[in-house]
Structure 1
Amino acid sequence: MSYGCIVDQAVCDLGRRTGLPDLASHIADRFPTLGWEADLAPDYSLSAIRYLPVIPDPRKVLCVATNYREPGDDGAARPEYPLVFSRFGISQTGHEEPLPKPEVSEKFDYEGELAVIIGKTGRRIAEAEAMTYVAGYSCFNDGSVRDWQKHSSQFTPGKNFARTAGFGPWMVTSDELPDPGALDLVTRVNGETRQRNNTSRMIFPIAWLISYFSQFTVLEPGDVIVTGTPSGFGSSRQPPEFLKIGDTVEIEIERVGTLRNVVADESQNQDNFR
Structure 2
Amino acid sequence: MRIVGVDDGSGQVMVGSLNSDDTEVVVIAELAEFWAAPADHLTRDLRDSVRMRAHAVRLVPPVLPGARVVCIGLNYADHVAEGTFKDQELPEYPTLFARWTASLTVDGAHVPVPAGEDGLDWEGEVVAWVGATLVDATPEEALAAVVGYSAFNDITSRKAQKRTSQWIIGKNGDNSGPLGPMVPAGEVGDLRNGLTVQTRVNGTIVQHGSTAQMIYGVGETLAHISELLTLNPGDLLATGTPSGVGYARTPPWLLHPGDVVEVEIDRLGTLTTHVVDNTHRLA
The answer (yes or no) to whether the contact 1:78–1:203 under 8 Å persists in 2 is no
Cα deviations across residues 94-114 of structure 1 (Å, max 9, x unaligned)?
Answer: 111101111221141110010
Whichever residue aligns with residue 131 of structure 1, its letter is L
Q: Structure 1: state its 5+ residue gaps.
A: none
The answer (yes or no) to whether the contact 1:121–1:219 under 8 Å persists in 2 is yes
What residue number does 1:66 align with? 74
Question: Which one is further off, 184-193 or 261-270?
Answer: 261-270
**Distance of aligned partners of 1:51 and 1:245 in 2 relative to their CA distance in 1, 3 Å threshold:** same
**Distance of aligned partners of 1:40 and 1:224 in 2 relative to their CA distance in 1, 3 Å threshold:** farther
The answer (yes or no) to whether the contact 1:105–1:145 under 8 Å persists in 2 is yes
Q: Which of 24, 31, 37 is 1:11 aligned to?
A: 24
The answer (yes or no) to whether the contact 2:130–2:147 under 8 Å persists in 1 is yes
What residue number does 2:190 align with? 179
What residue number does 1:128 align with? 140
- 1:1-274 → structure 2 map (5 Å cutoff): 1=7, 2-7=14-19, 9=21, 10-14=23-27, 18=29, 20=30, 22=31, 25-32=33-40, 34-36=42-44, 39=47, 43-55=51-63, 57-70=65-78, 78-168=90-180, 170-181=181-192, 182-271=194-283
Alpha-carbon distance between aligned partners in 2 of 1:202 and 1:116, rounded to the nearest angstrom = 14
Alpha-carbon distance between aligned partners in 1 of 2:36 and 2:173, rounded to the nearest angstrom = 29
The answer (yes or no) to whether the contact 2:27–2:52 under 8 Å persists in 1 is no
Whichever residue aligns with residue 62 of structure 1, its letter is V
TM-score by length of 2: 0.85
Alpha-carbon distance between aligned partners in 1 of 2:212 and 2:223, rounded to the nearest angstrom = 18
Alpha-carbon distance between aligned partners in 1 of 2:171 and 2:120, rounded to the nearest angstrom = 10
* Identity across matched positions, percent: 33
Cα deviations across residues 41-90 of structure 1 (Å, max 9, x unaligned)?
Answer: 6724555554312426352000011311339x8xx975311111001111
Alpha-carbon distance between aligned partners in 2 of 1:54 and 1:252, rounded to the nearest angstrom = 20
**Distance of aligned partners of 1:58 and 1:247 in 2 relative to their CA distance in 1, 3 Å threshold:** farther
Alpha-carbon distance between aligned partners in 2 of 1:223 and 1:248, rounded to the nearest angstrom = 28
Question: Which one is further off, 223-232 or 172-181?
Answer: 172-181
**Distance of aligned partners of 1:58 and 1:138 in 2 relative to their CA distance in 1, 3 Å threshold:** farther
Alpha-carbon distance between aligned partners in 1 of 2:174 and 2:114, rounded to the nearest angstrom = 9
**Distance of aligned partners of 1:210 and 1:37 in 2 relative to their CA distance in 1, 3 Å threshold:** farther
Whichever residue aligns with residue 183 of structure 1, its letter is L
**Distance of aligned partners of 1:258 and 1:145 in 2 relative to their CA distance in 1, 3 Å threshold:** same
Q: Secondary structure at the match of 2:65?
A: coil
Cα deviations across residues 163-212 of structure 1 (Å, max 9, x unaligned)?
Answer: 111111x0001122232321000011101111110001101011111111
Alpha-carbon distance between aligned partners in 1 of 2:223 and 2:119, rounded to the nearest angstrom = 34
**Distance of aligned partners of 1:134 and 1:263 in 2 relative to their CA distance in 1, 3 Å threshold:** same
The answer (yes or no) to whether the contact 2:27–2:51 under 8 Å persists in 1 is no
Alpha-carbon distance between aligned partners in 2 of 1:82 and 1:30, rounded to the nearest angstrom = 27
Alpha-carbon distance between aligned partners in 1 of 2:230 and 2:59, rounded to the nearest angstrom = 28
The two structures, once aligned, show a CA RMSD in angstroms of 2.3
The answer (yes or no) to whether the contact 2:38–2:147 under 8 Å persists in 1 is no
Q: Structure 2: state its 5+ residue gaps.
A: 1-6, 8-13, 82-87
Whichever residue aligns with residue 225 of structure 1, its letter is L
Q: Secondary structure at the match of 1:234?
A: coil
Report the number of matched residues.
262
